Amino acid sequence: MSETYDYLFKFLIIGSAGSGKSCLLHHFIESKFKDDSSHTIGVEFGSRIVNVGGKSVKLQIWDTAGQERFRSVTRSYYRGAAGALLVYDATSRDSFNALTNWLNDARTLASPNIVILLVGNKKDLEEARDVTFLEASTFAQENELIFLETSAKTGENVEEAFLKCSKTILAKIETGELDPERIGSGIQYGGAALRNLQTRQRSINKPDCTCRV
């Protein structure tokens, strides 16, 4: 039996090693900080159903390894992603400088319409900050990204990051900018939406009984 959600979105979490991708996913799924996090080998997976503007959306999230040696494996997961969290560590300038490369990969290997949310993680480490909010938001504007600063430690803005990205995808579906039926869109209808579509289809096909011959 199909689960009752309206849409399924495929999500990626990408960015430099150590920026906190696995901790963000863990906090989103388990609502707590993963304090024994080690480097991801290849990819890890998590999923959760969220409510976005009255629609239930199942997020299928692929957490990719940031280390260069896994790049060929992780790249193979980009295809057909509807959304991505592009993560840098706000206490690491290197992770910020690497964003352009990650962005190029996402836009060329995933769908060109992929919705990307830039995430400045480790917001709780204010004293060790190496990237200002202003320069990151300027980068986000220049590259047409949505932007949030988060802390996977305190949980600040973690939920918001996933929800904001989902909300943007949903809005683009509603305006017709994204087509869930396009192969590789990273979006699927769930059981609930399919039932609605079928009901609508039936009423379109039904002959108009009020007309008299």
Ligand X SMILES: Nc1nc2c(ncn2[C@@H]2O[C@H](COP(=O)(O)OP(=O)(O)OP(=O)(O)O)[C@@H](O)[C@H]2O)c(=O)[nH]1
Which positions touch ligand X (CB under 6 A)? 17-23, 35, 37, 39-40, 65-67, 121-122, 124-125, 151-153
Least Cβ distance, residue 89 to ligand X (angstroms): 7
User: What is the DSSP code (8-state) at residue 91?
Assistant: T
Q: Which is nearer to ligand X, 71 or 195 (CB)?
A: 71
Q: Comparing C-alpha atoms, which of 92, 100, 104 is closest to residue 18? A: 92
In whole angstroms, the minimum distance from the beta carbon of 88 to ligand X comes to: 10
- Return the number of the residue (6 or 124) whose C-beta is nearest ligand X: 124
Least CB distance to ligand X at residue 127 (A): 11
Q: How far is the CB of 122 from ligand X (least distance, A)?
A: 4
Q: How far is the CB of 113 from ligand X (least distance, A)?
A: 25
**Cβ neighbours of residue 129 under 8 Å, at least 6 residues apart?**
90, 91
Q: How far apart are CA 190 and CA 174, in angstroms?
A: 16
Q: Which is nearer to ligand X, 114 or 152 (CB)?
A: 152
Give per-residue burial for 8-19: e unless 16+ CB within 10 Å, then b.
Answer: bbbbbbbbbbbb
User: Alpha helix locations (H) across the chain?
Assistant: 21-30, 71-75, 93-97, 99-109, 133-142, 158-174, 191-205
CA distance 92 to 164: 24
Nearer to ligand X by Cβ, of 20 and 190: the residue is 20
> Shortest gap between Cβ of 84 and ligand X (angstroms)?
14
Closest CA to 12 of 131, 162, 151, 154: 162
Please identify, using beta-carbon distances, which residue of 17 and 49 lies nearer to ligand X: 17
Reading the block at residue 212, the tokens are 């008299």
